[in-house]
Amino acid sequence: MSDLDTLEGDLLRQVSETSDEASLDAVRVAALGKKGSVSELLKTLGAMTPEARKERGPLINGLRDRVQGAIGTRREALAEAALTARLSAERIDVTLPVRDAPEARGRIHPISQVLDEITAIFADMGFAVAEGPDIETDDYNFTALNFPPGHPAREMHDTFFLAPDRNGQRKVLRTHTSPVQIRTMRSQEPPIRVICPGRTYRHDSDQTHTPMFHQVEGLVIDKAANIANLKWVLEEFCRTFFEVDAVKMRFRPSFFPFTEPSAEVDIQCSRKGGEIRFGEGTDWLEILGCGMVHPNVLRNCGLDPDSVQGFAFGMGIDRIAMLKYGMPDLRPFFEADVRWLEHYGFRPLDIPSLVAGLTA
Ligand code: PHE
C-alpha cells in the first residue's frame, strides 16, 4: 500500500469515528487545515519536477477531495442525528391541559361591567358621558341644586365634610352625581343629553350600603324634553339592561330639591324563593329617582326656564348590579377578594354592546 493510501485509510476511519461536530472539526483541521497532513502533502508539489507533479498531483488532489467529501457527508449525518436527539428530548405533551393566558384569566369587576353596559345603552340613545370631581364645593353639591342653606335635605345625605379651608369653606365628598348636572349646564349649551357615572359618598354602612358607592345621573335639556320622554328613556333602559322583553314601572311622587315634579321609580319583580326576577311577579322594587329639572336649577346655571326645560334621573349602579347579577351583599364589591372576583367577575374581552349582546 502506498503512503497516500495509508493516510487516506487513516483519515477516513478517523472521520467515521467522530461522534460530534467538534471532534469532526478537529479531524478536518488536522488533515486540511494550514498545517494539516494533506495540506503539507499539497505543498510538496511545488518542489517536484513537472513529470513527478503530473503523477503525484492527481493522487494528492484526489485524496484531498475524498477526505473533504467524507467530512461533508459526516457533518450532515451528525447534524441530522443531533436534531433527532433534540426533537425526542424536547418533546411536548400535546395532551396536557391548556393553561389560560393572563388576559383570559383576569376578570372585570362587576361595577366596571355594569358601567360599560349602562354606557352602551345610553350611547345608543344618543347620550354622551360627562364627569366631575369626587371632591365638590357645597355650591355644586347642594346650593346650585336648590338646596337652601340649612335645608333638612342636606342632612338626609349623611355628608362627609372636609376640614375647612382658609376661607372657612368646607368642601364635601359629593353625596350624589347631581353636581355634574350643574357642571354640564354651566359649560355646555342646550341641547344637552348626558349621563354622568361616578363615585359618590355617604356616611352609611350595612349589607346594601357602603360609604363609597356609584351612581349614574342622566340629564336632558332642550326646548321640549318632557315627562313622557323621561318615562320612555327609563323604560327603554330597564328593558335593555335587565334583558327582558318588558318591564312594568311605577312612578311614585317624591321630593328632590332640584326636580319638580319629582318621582321615585319602582320596577315590577317577583321575589319567589328569595330570588328577584324582573318582568314578572307582583312585587315592586325601587331603583331610581327622577323628575323635571327645577326652574331654580336652570336659573342657577344661567339658563332661562321659559325657553328651555328638561329632565334628570339618578340611580345606584351598585344596586342595579346586585339586582341583575344576583349578588346578595354589597360589601364584597370593595374588599378586593380575588376569589369573589373570579366568581362574579366578567371576561375582559366580552365587551358589552347592544349589537353583540350586553352579557354575551
Ligand atoms: N341625586 C338623587 C339621589 O342621590 C337622585 C336624583 C337624580 C333624583 C336626578 C332626581 C334627579 O338620591
pLDDT higher than 80, residue 86: yes
Which residue has its alpha carbon closest to ligand 1 atom 10?
290
CATH 3.20.20.140 fits 109-344, yes or no: no
Lowest average pLDDT, out of 107-121, 174-188, 259-273, 294-308, goes to: 259-273
Measured in Å, residue 354 CA sits from the centre of ligand 1 at 26
The C-alpha angle 246, 287, 199, rounded to 5 degrees, equals: 125
pLDDT at 301: 97
CA atoms of 300 and 140, how far apart (whole Å):
10
pLDDT of residue 214: 96
Q: Find where cell 366568581 sits.
A: 343
Share of the chain above pLDDT 90, in %: 56
pTM: 0.71
351 Cα: distance to centroid of ligand 1 (angstroms): 28
Burial of 30 (0-12, 13-18, 19+ CB in 10 A): middle
State the Cα–Cα distance between residues 206 and 75, nearest whole angstrom. 78
Q: Strand 128-129 relative to strand 192-201: parallel, antiparallel, unpaired?
A: parallel
Mean pLDDT of 176-195: 97
Judged against a pLDDT cut of 60, whether residue 360 lies above it is answered with no
CA–centroid distance, 294 to ligand 1, in Å, is: 12
What is the pLDDT of the chain when averaged over all its residues? 90
Chain Cα centroid distance, residue 89: 39
pLDDT given for residue 144 in this prediction = 96
Find the DSSP H helices in 33-91.
37-44, 50-89
Q: Give the mutation target among 158, 176, 180 for probing the ligand 1 site: most ligand atoms within 8 A of CB.
A: 176
User: Which residue's CA is minimally distant from atom 12 of ligand 1?
Assistant: 289
Instruction: Report domain extents, the chain.
Output: 3-89, 109-344
Q: Which of 42-51, 147-156, 232-241, 244-253 has the lowest mean pLDDT?
A: 147-156
Residues in the chain: 360
Which residues, 6+ apart, have CB-to-CB distance to 35 below 8 Å? none
